[in-house]
Amino acid sequence: MTPHHTPLLIDGNAVAAQIKADIALTVRRHVAEGHRPPCLATLLVGHDGGSELYVRNKIRACRSCGITSIELQFDADITEGELLREIERLNADESIDGFIVQLPLPSHIDEHRVVEAIDPRKDVDGFHPMNVGRMALGLPAFVSATPLGILTLLRHYSIPTAGKKCVVMGRSNIVGKPMAHLLLERNATVTVCHSHTRDLSAKMRAADVVVCATGRAKAYGAACFAPGQIVIDVGMNVDAAGALCGDVDFAAVEPIVDAITPVPRGVGGVTTQVLLDHVVQAALKATA
């Protein structure tokens, strides 16, 4: 008889709590040295429910670490020029260490032009081409928080990447592409799969580590996975019953694999802490 297989639940909230304690301590020390607290500004355009929730979570996380925040809200009909002027103002404002423009933006605004307008030193999301390029070259940079948070989780659980076959599902600029670069930098053999990829499930089953970041609720079930695998689920979706769920069908896949991140309590909390860490880094650099 084979022993009962107990997969490891990768506890993102526990890791996030540790990072948070470190950040709070660093902030306290910085303030004790006579500096103002680090400050993050958030720019939200329109009233997308998901984006409002994400921004609210980031603001709340700042508050509980002693980081101040400024919430800027604009109507969906703000012009690109007005938004660019707002960004110029934040670039020049020395009381703000970093800021984020919550994506997606309304379709009349060119997202690339907006992101390129951000001072790379204040681009705590790591979306500016300067930061993306430096990350791709393996140089110090602000790196997109979700893939960096995933590396933090892997490191925390001593999950190796060197020489491992890693499959990244999804090729977004925010998650899939930077994830592939970062895994490559950590000596993984990386395959990026997307909507045009053939034999998806065979490629997934052959991997040691699978990162799912396609934003498709419970799209990957038992047929996509094999024993021994590590599964990282980036999805933040709502299922047919209205409950928060990942890209992976957790109930079907959890009994098969070696380790898996749940949704919620997986990647999300760590992502937020990585962003806050970037704000603190920007503040420390500005006062060094």
Question: Which residues are the active-site residues?
Answer: 58, 102, 125
Q: Using an 8 Å Cβ cutoff, are 164 and 228 in contact? A: no
Strand 165-169 and strand 98-101: the pairing is unpaired
How far, CA to CA in Å, does 26 sit from each of 29, 134, 244? Answer: 5, 26, 33
Q: Are 214 and 169 in contact (CB under 8 A)?
A: yes
Site for ligand GUN in 79-138 (CB under 6 A): 100-103, 125
Does 252 bind ligand GUN (CB under 6 A)? Our answer is no
Residue 105 · residue 127 · CB < 8 Å: no
Tokens of 89: 């103002």
Q: Which residue is nearest to ligand GUN (CB)?
A: 103
Binding mask 137-166 for ligand GUN (x = CB under 6 A): --------x---------------------
CB of 102 to ligand GUN, least distance (A): 5
What three-state secondary structure class fits 72?
strand
- Smallest gap from residue 145 Cβ to ligand GUN (A): 6
Please report how close the Cβ of residue 96 comes to ligand GUN at its closest, in angstroms: 15
Contact 60, 276 (CB under 8 A): no
Interface with ligand GUN, residue 229, by CB under 6 A? no
Note whether 277 binds ligand GUN by CB under 6 A: no
Question: Judged by CB, which is closer to ligand GUN: 101, or 267?
Answer: 101
The residue whose two tokens read 């800027």 is: 72
How many chain residues bind ligand GUN (CB under 6 A)?
Answer: 7
Q: Which residues bind ligand GUN (CB under 6 A)?
A: 100-103, 125, 145, 174
